[in-house]
Amino acid sequence: MSKTQPARGMRDFLPADIRKRNYVINIIREVYESYGFEPLETPAIENLETLTGKYGEEGNQLMFKILKRGEKLDLARGENLADLALRYDLTVPLARVVANYKNELPRFFKRYQIQPVWRADRPARGRFREFYQCDVDAIGSHSMVVEAELISAVCEILTRLGFDDFTIRINHREVLRSLLNKTGIPESQHSDALVAIDKLDKIGRESVSYEFIQRGISSEAGDKLFDLFEQISQIVSDKIKDRFNINGEILLALTTFLDYQKGEWNVLENEIIKILEFSTNNHLLVDPTLARGLSYYTGAIFEIQVPDLAGSLGGGGRYDGLIGMFGKEQIPACGFSLGLERIVVVMEERGMFDKLIADGKLKDDSADVLITLWNEESVGESLKLAGELRQKGLRALVYPEADKLGKQFKYASQLNIPFVCVLGDEELAANKVTLKNMTTGTQEKFLRTEVAGEIK
Amino acid sequence: MSKTQPARGMRDFLPADIRKRNYVINIIREVYESYGFEPLETPAIENLETLTGKYGEEGNQLMFKILKRGEKLDLARGENLADLALRYDLTVPLARVVANYKNELPRFFKRYQIQPVWRADRPARGRFREFYQCDVDAIGSHSMVVEAELISAVCEILTRLGFDDFTIRINHREVLRSLLNKTGIPESQHSDALVAIDKLDKIGRESVSYEFIQRGISSEAGDKLFDLFEQISQIVSDKIKDRFNINGEILLALTTFLDYQKGEWNVLENEIIKILEFSTNNHLLVDPTLARGLSYYTGAIFEIQVPDLAGSLGGGGRYDGLIGMFGKEQIPACGFSLGLERIVVVMEERGMFDKLIADGKLKDDSADVLITLWNEESVGESLKLAGELRQKGLRALVYPEADKLGKQFKYASQLNIPFVCVLGDEELAANKVTLKNMTTGTQEKFLRTEVAGEIK
């Protein structure tokens, strides 16, 4: 007897789960499409070399690799046992696609992609080894209109799902790198430092400092960086704790404090302030400590938080260098990724799905009507009635076995089916159907041609 | 520079592909739901032991296995390098789910599942290493109502997709095993024999005979089996070449010829004839040579053919023993699987999608309207107009950069966008929008509040 549980960190989704997930996915898809993003899908399996070296150190460790097959494995002799790997995110495959189909794709390619990715991470609350990313990316433009539209789409999705207390933190990789330079951390250690800073939220300052030392970054540099973060925070704390205020006051304070050189000033003025100005919503918060774990970001970075979840609901940023790793051309790109599982977990815990079901916005029944089976001889008639009701747009389920009527009613209640059509000898003789309303318990006979109308 | 092609046998789906695939998937989902089937999803990755020994020999060879990670791999020393594998079909995961959640699931569990599976097969026309199965299964009943409903649902799907020339071949594993017994092939070699017979369509009689010998089945037994097949075919050829005729005449001829014992008679009388009687459609064809490759089938088996595809569009059957391999209980089950890729390939080659697009039933545009960007100062207004149009249910795309108007129009044509809203200085001053109809080329000015109505 084999084990029946799913593999570690993986989950099965029963019908009620899928209905909730699809409700969320449909809203995400609808909003993305309303912004002119088009659907794309890529294979779950990529060549190992496509993924290697794109995500930084953590990515290489957490990737699921696929064993070579047949002769190729025999020849491998312990070296390079894998030639393929499972998709680790949707961004690197997108970059590959853009490089590969450059001539078929429009100059500005706006795509969304809702597919699972796999990471051999330690499973935890809201963290699974298979999870869905709902990505949206705009390729081909340096314009900050892109960031603004992405933020706007994501805000609209969360608002339509019923969230009103989310914050989109925003920072910029060049600003971060500037800070790192000021503390004396050499360029070659920037990626290491960013991976560690990314964990600040979860593990706190001390653990990040410890990780710095482990990664060979001097404790002086670490201390200096945290001092910088703290000083900035003090200067802007009042205003940062409120939502960002469109005139860029905080950024001015911030940039003045940091005494940016011309180039750095430009980044802030031309990019972050523009994004804030274009995005007329009150969910944005500038956070100078936001780092993001992946190594491919080059510009603005984002992360979405809600108060009752330690991790983020999603995040993203600009990655102008990634597509160039696949093609001859550097093509600018920026995107956002929503984590389906995180959104569903929070909605579940807040009772948001229960409310949707109560309001009739989310179905929790298996069918509109159950058709009973009286005896072996009436199978044909029960199947025929089902066909008639389906033709009229109803979801009709036929009880598969001739059984006691009580059992068939019980089955209908168990599946939340609101109506049962009883088709017995008497009904068949009169060309009628007894319709039982499972909510009120009332039963009434109708002509077969009328019954669909009654159910509706 | 990394390679940009997808891995061998894998494919990227650009927006136009996804729209076609989703059109097919939506019809499949709608019909399955109209029969009371509920959605289920299982993880892509399963424990290796869950999949091992369930599919027969071919399955073990073609499975994508996942390399152990970290320490576990170091300890493996060349033995058992893999602990996980990619989903090979949707049936074995379903059996695992039914055994695992038995107490949460209804007595009769009707589920559909539309997800990719992976097989390291040699890629060919319509055969890929990642492909979507659209499965529908009914668990918990021995009743032939199940087979009849499954066949009916699949027929409805194919008919709604626009197919009228498909055939559902039907046979029964017990009948096949009976034939094998008659030819003297021992029980222990039945699975081997079935794998070989399954290829009859593709490779022909001689190659199957050769494979029999390679698998240690005597050439006499093979010859005898083919003689049996031929004799049956001769007896029933006239009638089998027509579609099956509901009174069971052919089966009577067949069973008389085979001189079945009581038990075998019952199988045919109680199962196949019932299925044919319950299924009032003219697509069924009884084919005594139909074998199906997978080892888990125990009863009726099906396969769907169209004249212009060598392989099948889908298939299925009854597998009453599979769930018992995971749980303490034997639970009867029967299902059907449609191959999305095969369906899409045939629809593409027959021009069925072009017709759907021409009839307005399938979209091929990226958005309903493009909003131009005049200059940096008008970004806010263009974004605002987009928001207004989206609120009215339109898909509105904002051109991301201030650029020549001609270029922006060209971009709209390239993406098949039927309308462009021009928002220049003049329009902004008058609180109007110039609307260009890209099909007719006409331009007209409208109030901003009117423009959504005009587009619709």
pLDDT tens profile A374-409: 888 888 899 999 999 999 999 999 999 999 999 999
CA–chain centroid gap for A424, Å, is 49
C-alpha–C-alpha distance, residues A278 and B21, integer Å: 36
Provide, as residue numbers in chain B, all residues whose Cβ is less than 8 Å from the Cβ of A105: 14
Residue A177 has a pLDDT of 84
The shortest C-alpha distance from B235 to chain A (Å) reads: 30
Residue B268 has a pLDDT of 63
Look at residues A355, A352, A342, A358 and name the one whose alpha carbon lies nearest to residue A163: A352
- The mean pLDDT of chain B is 88
Residue written as tokens 């059907």?
B336
Quick check: B40 contacting A, CB < 8 Å? yes
Confidence category of residue A240, pLDDT binned at 50, 70, 90: very low
Q: Which of A1, A8, A11, A14 to mutate to test the interface with B (most CBs of B within 10 A)?
A: A14
| Amino acid in position A53 | G
Quick check: B75 contacting A, CB < 8 Å? no
CA-angle at B243, arms to B242 and B249, nearest 5°? 90
Minimum-distance CB partner of A33 among B47, B49, B395: B395
Quick check: B413 contacting A, CB < 8 Å? no
Minimum-distance CB partner of A65 among B36, B66, B366: B66
Query: Looking at chain A, which residue has its C-alpha nearest residue B325?
Result: A1
C-alpha–C-alpha distance, residues B292 and B206, integer Å: 19
pLDDT tens profile B338-388: 999 999 999 999 999 999 999 999 998 899 999 999 888 888 899 999 999
The shortest C-alpha distance from B79 to chain A (Å) reads: 11
* Between residues A371 and A230, the one the model is more confident about: A371
Provide, as residue numbers in chain A, all residues whose Cβ is less than 8 Å from the Cβ of B58: none
pLDDT tens profile B260-312: 554 555 666 667 667 766 776 778 877 878 888 777 899 899 999 999 988 89
Whole-angstrom distance between the N-terminal and C-terminal Cα of chain B? 46
pLDDT tens profile A297-346: 998 999 999 999 888 999 999 999 889 988 888 999 999 999 999 999 99
Residue A228 has a pLDDT of 81
Minimum-distance CB partner of B34 among A12, A78, A396: A396
Residue B382 has a pLDDT of 92
- Judging by beta carbons within 10 Å of its beta carbon (0-12, 13-18, 19+), is residue B265 exposed, middle or buried? middle
Provide, as residue numbers in chain A, all residues whose Cβ is less than 8 Å from the Cβ of B380: 277-278, 280
Minimum-distance CB partner of A107 among B111, B146, B411: B411
Q: Give the containing element (helix H, strand E) for B387.
A: helix B379-391
pLDDT tens profile A120-141: 999 887 789 999 999 999 999 9
- Judging by beta carbons within 10 Å of its beta carbon (0-12, 13-18, 19+), is residue A280 exposed, middle or buried? middle
- Longest Cα–Cα distance of chain B, Å, equals 92
Question: Is A13 a residue whose pLDDT tops 70?
Answer: yes
B84–A7 C-beta distance less than 8 A: yes
Residue B235 has a pLDDT of 61
Quick check: B414 contacting A, CB < 8 Å? yes
Q: Which of B67, B151, B374 to mutate to test the interface with A (most CBs of A within 10 A)?
A: B67
Confidence category of residue A72, pLDDT binned at 50, 70, 90: confident
C-alpha–C-alpha distance, residues B308 and A320, integer Å: 46
- What percentage of chain B reaches a pLDDT higher than 90? 57
Residue B237 has a pLDDT of 55
- Radius of gyration in angstroms for the set of CA atoms belonging to chain B, rounded to a whole number: 28
Backbone angles phi, psi at B329, to 5 degrees: -110, 140
- The mean pLDDT of chain A is 88
Tokens standing for residue A258: 């940091």
C-alpha–C-alpha distance, residues A434 and A411, integer Å: 17
C-alpha–C-alpha distance, residues B433 and B424, integer Å: 8
Residue written as tokens 């152990």?
B68
The shortest C-alpha distance from B109 to chain A (Å) reads: 10
Can you say whether residue B222 is alpha, beta or left, with left for phi > 0 and alpha for psi between -120 and 50 degrees? alpha
A104–B14 C-beta distance less than 8 A: yes
Average pLDDT over residues B416-436: 94
pLDDT tens profile A166-195: 999 888 888 788 888 888 888 888 888 888
Confidence category of residue B399, pLDDT binned at 50, 70, 90: very high
Backbone angles phi, psi at B116, to 5 degrees: -75, 155
Provide, as residue numbers in chain A, all residues whose Cβ is less than 8 Å from the Cβ of B1: 325-328
| Beta-carbon-side half-sphere exposure of residue A358 (alpha carbons within 13 Å) | 5
Residue B179 has a pLDDT of 82
Average pLDDT over residues B94-121: 95
Quick check: A148 contacting B, CB < 8 Å? yes
Residue A334 has a pLDDT of 96
Residue A456 has a pLDDT of 86
Residue A234: how many CB atoms within 10 A of its CB?
10
DSSP code for B433: E
Tokens standing for residue A96: 């590959």
Q: Which of A11, A19, A67, A391 to mutate to test the interface with B (most CBs of B within 10 A)?
A: A67
Provide, as residue numbers in chain A, all residues whose Cβ is less than 8 Å from the Cβ of B45: 7, 10, 64, 86, 118, 129-130
Quick check: A406 contacting B, CB < 8 Å? no
B141–A396 C-beta distance less than 8 A: no
A108–B399 C-beta distance less than 8 A: yes
Pairing mode, strands B333-339 and A38-39: unpaired
The answer for A 330-349 residues in CB contact with B (under 8 A) is none
Look at residues A90, A9, A314 and name the one whose alpha carbon lies nearest to residue B43: A9
pLDDT tens profile B33-67: 999 999 999 999 999 999 988 887 778 889 999 99
Backbone angles phi, psi at A436, to 5 degrees: -105, 125
Residue B310 has a pLDDT of 83
Minimum-distance CB partner of B390 among A34, A327, A383: A34
Question: Is A154 a residue whose pLDDT tops 90?
Answer: yes
- What percentage of chain A reaches a pLDDT higher than 70? 89
C-alpha–C-alpha distance, residues A385 and A94, integer Å: 48
pLDDT tens profile A259-300: 555 455 566 666 766 776 677 677 887 787 888 877 789 989
Question: Is B219 a residue whose pLDDT tops 80?
Answer: yes
A66–B67 C-beta distance less than 8 A: yes
Tokens standing for residue A423: 């088709």
ipTM above 0.95, yes or no: no
Query: Looking at chain A, which residue has its C-alpha nearest residue B160?
Result: A391
C-alpha–C-alpha distance, residues A254 and A272, integer Å: 12
Q: Are A275 and A300 in contact (CB under 8 A)?
A: yes
Residue A29 has a pLDDT of 97
